[in-house]
A and B are shown apart, each in its own frame.
Chain A
Amino acid sequence: QLHLQESGPGLVKPSETLSLTCNVSRDSITSSSYYWGWIRQPPGKGLEWIGAISYPGTTYYNPSLKSRVTISVDTSKNHFSLRLNSVTAADTAVYYCARHLLTAYYLPSWFDPWGQGTLVTVSS
């Protein structure tokens, strides 16, 4: 069964870059059947989609974050990554990665499964 695991620093300083990786086990990240997505959840708040990528590199980003976000795929390590630039305290959240299933028209649809999430705190 597919397993996703987020990894990366738990503390990032304001104005710096947040970098996270999602390791994918028991499935290939090069599969044309899926996108791979990032979602975050500030403490005590709801879910916010960050973006998604499919191999070999089609991306979609949240319009409100697009100027600061880059999602990429590393096929050699079977993982995908998130970079979020110029972070502030408002970027403090639990960050989840998830497999993003496709519709019959090859557009991203629902998320299943999700990683367990990793808390990233932005603070000096």
Chain B
Amino acid sequence: SYVLTQPPSVSVAPGHTARIFCGGHEIGNKSVHWYQQKPGQAPVLVLYDDSDRPSGIPERFSGSKSGNTATLTISRVEAGDEADFYCQLWNNNSDPHVVFGGGTKLTVL
């Protein structure tokens, strides 16, 4: 089955840039979506279709893809950005289904 691989954790100092990677086979051919989940809360969509931001998501959140990796970039990181981040896509193979990455814990130092 299709697998999305994320690093378990990323640490960054306030004001710096955080990059969270999501790797998957031929991910360039698929649309990747990203969610932020703070403790005790439901996930919130922060990017869809690789790099589009929903209304209300700061411009500091951006997305890109290269090769077999999608990247969520958070510029000028703030303490309030600390959360778990998940990538997700729709795998349209012979048995279509949603795939989530394992999640990355972003720690703001």
Contacts and interface: CB of A to CB of B under 8 A. Distances in A.
Interface of A: 37, 39, 46-49, 52, 60-64, 96, 101, 103, 107-117
Contacts of A112: 45, 48, 54
Q: Give the secondary structure class of A's interface.
A: strand
Contacts of B29: none
Interface of B: 1, 31, 33, 35, 42-45, 48-49, 54, 86, 88, 90, 92, 95-103
Contacts, number: 67
Given A47-B43, A49-B100, A60-B97, 5 more contacts: A46-B101, A47-B35, A48-B100, A110-B33, A116-B42
30 contacts: A39-B98, A39-B100, A46-B86, A46-B100, A47-B86, A49-B99, A49-B100, A60-B96, A62-B97, A62-B98, A63-B95, A63-B97, A96-B42, A101-B48, A103-B31, A107-B92, A108-B90, A108-B98, A109-B31, A109-B33, A109-B49, A109-B90, A110-B48, A110-B88, A111-B43, A111-B45, A112-B54, A113-B44, A113-B45, A115-B42
Nearest to B45: A112
